[in-house]
Amino acid sequence: MVPHVATPCCPMALAETRPAPAAGDAHELHRLQKRLRHQVGQAIADFGMIEEGDRVMVCLSGGKDSYTMLDVLRQLQAKAPVRFELVAVNLDQKQPGFPEHVLPEYLESIEQPFHILEQDTYSVVKRVVPEGKTMCSLCSRLRRGALYTYAEQNGFTKIALGHHRDDLLATFFLNLFFHAKLSGMPPKLQSDDGKHTVIRPLAYVKEADIAAYAEAKAFPIIPCTLCGSQENLQRKVVKRMLEQWEKDSPGRLETISRALGDVRPSQLSDRTLFDFMALGRRGDAPLPDPEAWMAHSPAAADDEATPAAPKPDALAALRAKAFDPIWNP
């Protein structure tokens, strides 16, 4: 490893000055490391993320999640039942003050093959997105386009992203609350054009374990000054909600996470996923006509008198009765 001069602005320098973990801490790190390997290996097996001969592009941002993902994948690579290649790829978005030397020095120190992409997406985002507005949508599209293009040009069969269990849960609730759909962030997906397979090996790993592991391993963390730093994101609101849930009811997030892998279409209301029409239907019965069922019959309208609205004094009597301790002991 090339000697590195310690400077206050360099995350790697700060990491190098940390003392070695005590014996007790080392034992806890070993247990945590074993748990992470088990969870990542389980996710890879459950969703068929990595196969024999795969060339995996590990997207490395410089954050705790992507460092942990790369580190655990390297451990599994040494013992995996299949052979696969790992190449770390970072997209340098030309953020002001971005420490360009940190990632190359770290990756060289662990002898990890890597490539640094350079594309000035920062200026594009700052120019297009008005001040105070969230930048995630445009920023992620630009990043995705650059990484997908590089993956195609260099023959990568899988693209590994560092989203963890809590990211998957937050996306599920964002879609539920703001888009009225049961949809989340899948552990494995195919790009819209069908050219790329994206995997999320940390799908079973909770963020707290990643944070503890990153701190224990003293990864040279590079803070994000783009979308991840904005406090007005709905994702951060949902994250705080999930954190409060876990604080009030420990284990709730793990239960919800398991539920996302145990979907019962017959117990929901999506007619495209389950044939409700077939339940109890006689073979010769015609399919219902929605317009006929929703239309109001003129004859029925004439026969049924519209109920009169309660008079004001009657409403007052009802309200008084509702709050009367005799009626509501």
Q: What is the pLDDT of residues 260-301, one digit of tens each?
A: 999 999 999 999 999 999 898 888 888 888 888 888 766 555
Res. 19: pLDDT tops 50: no
Nearest to 175 by CA among 234, 249, 255, 109: 234
Contact 180, 269 (CB under 8 A): no
pTM comes to: 0.78
**Letter string b/e over residues 9-20, b meaning 16 or more CB atoms within 10 A of that residue's CB:** ebbbbebeeeee
Helix (H, G, I), strand (E, B) or coil at 58: strand
Backbone angles phi, psi at 173, to 5 degrees: -75, -30
What single letter denotes the amino acid at residue 277? M
pLDDT at 79 (0 to 100): 93
The first and second tokens of residue 153, run together, are 């040009």
Contact 67, 214 (CB under 8 A): yes
Nearest to 229 by CA among 92, 122, 147, 124: 122
Place 24 in a pLDDT band, splitting at 50, 70 and 90: low
| Look-up of token digits 């705080």 | 240
Res. 228: pLDDT tops 90: no
| Look-up of token digits 């552990």 | 187
| Look-up of token digits 């406090």 | 231
Kindly indicate whether the domain formed by 22-261 is annotated with CATH number 3.40.50.10090: no
The first and second tokens of residue 200, run together, are 């999320």
What single letter denotes the amino acid at residue 116? I
